[in-house]
């Protein structure tokens, strides 16, 4: 083998050794996986082929990497002899089998929370005052954001806020009462009304809102929901009759645009 | 000095106490510890690196100890809930700490998220990891490995936690099933 080939193979071996050491440092392998005697033998074998600065740096990196692994082996031995040593695979198995309540209880039995209080101090108050005084005015800061001409704040009345959906025009209970009244009127003839015909609003958003209100009407006993074949029927009650006994049945109704089109 | 939080971390460093109380500050702390017993509190000294790992460099052992006041006894589940802790958060913290300890104080973040995810749901695992890192129970080092944080060293009796875990027996299969996604919450 030529000297060049020998040097190239030596570099490769050292690089592989460094990579192994890095993997061990990153907890991918057990530190005892590396045979230190063999690692030192590799470093020693290539020590007479060091020519350039890069070769020497590589050699130095290999030595320090091996030294770190020796340190990890030492820490590992100290850890294994301490009370904290538990096999990681056993811990993972235990964690998988224990309930959340049990784990929480174990933590609580070993937990002594720190008592800490937060307060204003003279120095923090001073700092806040200096910050406030040093702060640019609102208009100066606004200029930096390039937001264009400043529009003065304006007042908005209740109706406008309701249109913007910031506030509700009617209280929820009132809305429910109105819808219950509407349901009773719609069902005057047959005593019941088709669910989809009743919840359908002028647009999809309104339909969703009506369906939600209807779900509350049924939950609170203002109406009954009956299923006959493929159709759903709403039967209003003269008086609200909340279900006090037994467990209520949850009945999800998906609202898709296709369903609404079919109901038209 | 011990009770009030100055900056991010509560408690006081030994040099701060030395400056404030003089050379005999340890005697004062012993007396304080005695007085706090009636309130079920104690003074806890935390060494810079309790779980030692090999760390080359000239800084070894140069950091100062820190003193905290902590609860001497332990909390009941109900009391913990009153402090804003949910059962699944406590369980997730226990799982994370146990795993990091078993891996000699360092573990990969992804592995921890998987273990927490089995207890608290995958999405909550991500936020809980951030919470534990932010509050100081865990710390992330420059290599992206997660290790035990200052708060764990101050608040947790790790040998007791590991002992309880090692001695534990699994409950019935029904309650030990891993949770689906975000169905882990016990209370709102």
pLDDT tens digits along A151-160: 777 888 877 8
Partners of B93 on chain A (C-beta within 8 Å) are: 107
Ranges A74-78, A216-220, B78-82, B93-97: which has the least confidence: A74-78
- Segment among A123-137, A208-222, B167-181 with least mean pLDDT: B167-181
The reply to whether residue B71 touches residue A113, judged by beta carbons under 8 angstroms, is yes
Q: Is B158 in CB contact (< 8 Å) with chain A?
A: yes
Interface check for B9 against chain A (CB to CB < 8 A): the answer is no
The answer to whether B178 touches B114, Cβ cutoff 8 Å, is: no
Q: Is A175 helix (H, G, I), strand (E, B) or coil?
A: helix
CB atoms inside a 10 Å sphere around CB A93: 12
Alpha-carbon distance values, A26 to A63, B29, B54 (Å): 18, 40, 13
Nearest to A75 among B41, B54, B164 (CB): B54
- pLDDT of A234 strictly over 50: yes
Is residue A168 over pLDDT 60? yes
- Contact between chains at A114 and B95 (C-beta distance less than 8 A): no
pLDDT given for residue B185 in this prediction? 37
Instruction: Show the tokens assigned to B184.
Output: 């882990």
C-alpha to C-alpha distance for B14 and B32, rounded to whole angstroms: 15
In our burial notation (b when 16+ CB lie closer than 10 A, e otherwise), range A193-227 reads bbbbebbbeeeeeebeebbebbebbbeeebbebee
Any idea which residue has 């001073």 for tokens? A126
How much is the pLDDT for A244?
55
The pLDDT score that the predictor gives to residue A149 is 80
Q: What is the CATH number of domain B76-188?
A: 1.10.10.10
Residues B70/B45, Cβ–Cβ less than 8 Å: no
As to burial, measured by CB atoms within 10 angstroms (0-12 exposed, 13-18 middle, 19+ buried), residue B153 is buried
The verdict on a CB contact (< 8 Å) between A100 and B184 is yes
Q: Which residue has the higher pLDDT, B4 or A40?
A: A40
Tell me the two tokens of residue B16.
């701060």
The domain limits of chain A are: 3-80, 172-263
Residues ≥6 apart with Cβ < 8 Å to A81: none
Residue B147, number of CB atoms within 10 A of its CB? 18
pLDDT by residue (tens digit) across A41-52? 989 988 888 888
| Chain A partners within 8 Å of B120 (Cβ) | 100
Contact A94 B163 (CB under 8 A): no
**Which chain B residues contact residue A87 at CB under 8 A?**
102
Residue A123 reports pLDDT greater than 50: yes
Per-residue pLDDT tens digits for B92-136: 999 999 999 888 788 888 889 988 888 888 888 888 999 999 999
pLDDT-derived band at A86, boundaries 50, 70, 90: confident
Model pLDDT, residue A112: 93
- List the domain boundaries for chain B: 1-73, 76-188
CA distance B54 to chain A (A): 5
CB-closest option in A25, A106, A113 to B164? A106
Which residues from B are below 8 Å from A100, CB to CB? 87-88, 91, 119-120, 184, 186
pLDDT at A164 over 90: no
Q: Taking the complete model, does pTM exceed 0.80, yes or no?
A: no
Superfamily of domain A172-263: Structural maintenance of chromosome 1. Chain E (1.10.10.580)
- Of these ranges, A112-126, A235-249, B26-40, the one predicted with the greatest mean pLDDT is B26-40
Residues of B in contact with A121 (CB under 8 A): 4, 6
Q: Kindly determine whether residue A109 and residue B118, on different chains, have CB atoms separated by under 8 Å.
A: no
Percentage of residues in chain A with pLDDT exceeding 90?
18
- What 8-state DSSP symbol labels residue B80? H
pLDDT of residue A84: 66
Contact A91 B74 (CB under 8 A): no
Q: What is the pLDDT of residues B143-153, one digit of tens each?
A: 778 999 989 99
What is the rounded average pLDDT for all residues in chain A?
83
Q: Is the model's pLDDT at A134 over the cut of 60?
A: yes
Using 50, 70 and 90 to split pLDDT, how confident is the model at B183? very low
How confident is the model over A204-225, as a mean pLDDT? 88
Question: Which residue of A100, A119, A120 is the best one to mutate when testing the B interface, meaning the one whose CB has the most B CBs within 10 A?
Answer: A100
In tens, the pLDDT along B53-101 reads 444 344 444 357 889 999 998 888 888 888 888 888 999 999 999 999 8
**Predicted pLDDT of residue A80:** 67
- Interchain proximity B118–A78, CB inside 8 Å: no
Query: What pLDDT is attached to residue A9?
Result: 84
Between chain A and chain B, the number of residue pairs with CB atoms below 8 A apart is 185
């Amino acid at each position: 083998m030529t000297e060049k080939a020998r040097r190239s193979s030596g570099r490769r071996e050292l690089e592989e050794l460094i990579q192994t050491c890095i993997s061990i440092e990153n907890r991918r392998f057990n530190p005892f996986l590396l045979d230190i005697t063999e690692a030192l033998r590799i470093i020693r074998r290539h020590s007479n082929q060091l020519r350039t600065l890069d070769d020497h740096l590589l050699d130095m990196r290999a030595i320090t990497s091996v030294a770190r692994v020796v340190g990890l082996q030492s820490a590992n031995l100290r850890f294994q002899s301490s009370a904290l040593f538990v096999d990681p695979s056993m811990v993972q198995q235990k964690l998988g089998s224990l309930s959340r309540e049990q784990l929480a209880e174990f933590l609580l039995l070993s937990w002594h929370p720190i008592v800490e209080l937060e307060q204003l101090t003279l120095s923090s108050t001073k700092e806040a005052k200096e910050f406030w005084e040093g702060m640019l005015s609102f208009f100066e800061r606004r200029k930096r954001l390039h937001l264009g001409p400043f529009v003065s704040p304006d007042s908005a009345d209740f109706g406008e806020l309701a249109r913007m959906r910031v506030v509700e025009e009617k209280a929820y209970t009132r809305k429910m009462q109105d819808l219950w009244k509407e349901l009773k009127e719609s069902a005057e003839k047959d005593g019941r009304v088709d669910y989809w015909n009743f919840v359908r609003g002028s647009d999809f958003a309104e339909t969703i809102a009506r369906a939600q209100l209807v779900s509350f009407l049924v939950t609170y006993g203002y109406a009954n929901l009956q299923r006959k074949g493929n159709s759903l029927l709403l039967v209003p009650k003269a008086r609200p009759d909340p279900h006090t006994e037994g467990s209520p049945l949850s009945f999800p109704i998906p609202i898709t645009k296709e369903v609404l089109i079919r109901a038209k | 000095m011990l009770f009030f939080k100055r900056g991010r971390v509560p408690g006081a460093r030994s040099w701060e106490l030395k400056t404030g109380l003089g050379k005999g500050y340890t005697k004062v702390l012993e007396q304080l510890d005695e007085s706090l017993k009636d309130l079920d509190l104690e003074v806890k000294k935390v060494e810079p690196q309790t779980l030692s790992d090999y760390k080359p460099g000239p800084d070894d052992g140069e950091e100062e100890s820190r003193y905290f006041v902590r609860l001497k006894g332990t909390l009941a589940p109900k009391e913990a809930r009153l402090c804003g802790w949910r059962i699944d958060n406590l369980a997730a913290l226990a799982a994370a700490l146990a795993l990091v300890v078993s891996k000699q104080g360092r573990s990969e973040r992804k592995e921890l998220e998987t273990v927490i995810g089995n207890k608290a749901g995958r999405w909550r695992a991500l936020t809980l990891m951030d919470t534990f890192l932010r509050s100081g129970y865990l710390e992330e080092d420059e290599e992206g490995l997660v290790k035990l944080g200052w708060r764990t060293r101050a608040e947790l009796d790790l040998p007791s936690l590991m002992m309880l875990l090692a001695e534990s027996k699994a409950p019935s299969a029904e309650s030990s099933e891993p949770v689906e996604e975000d169905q882990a919450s016990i209370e709102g």
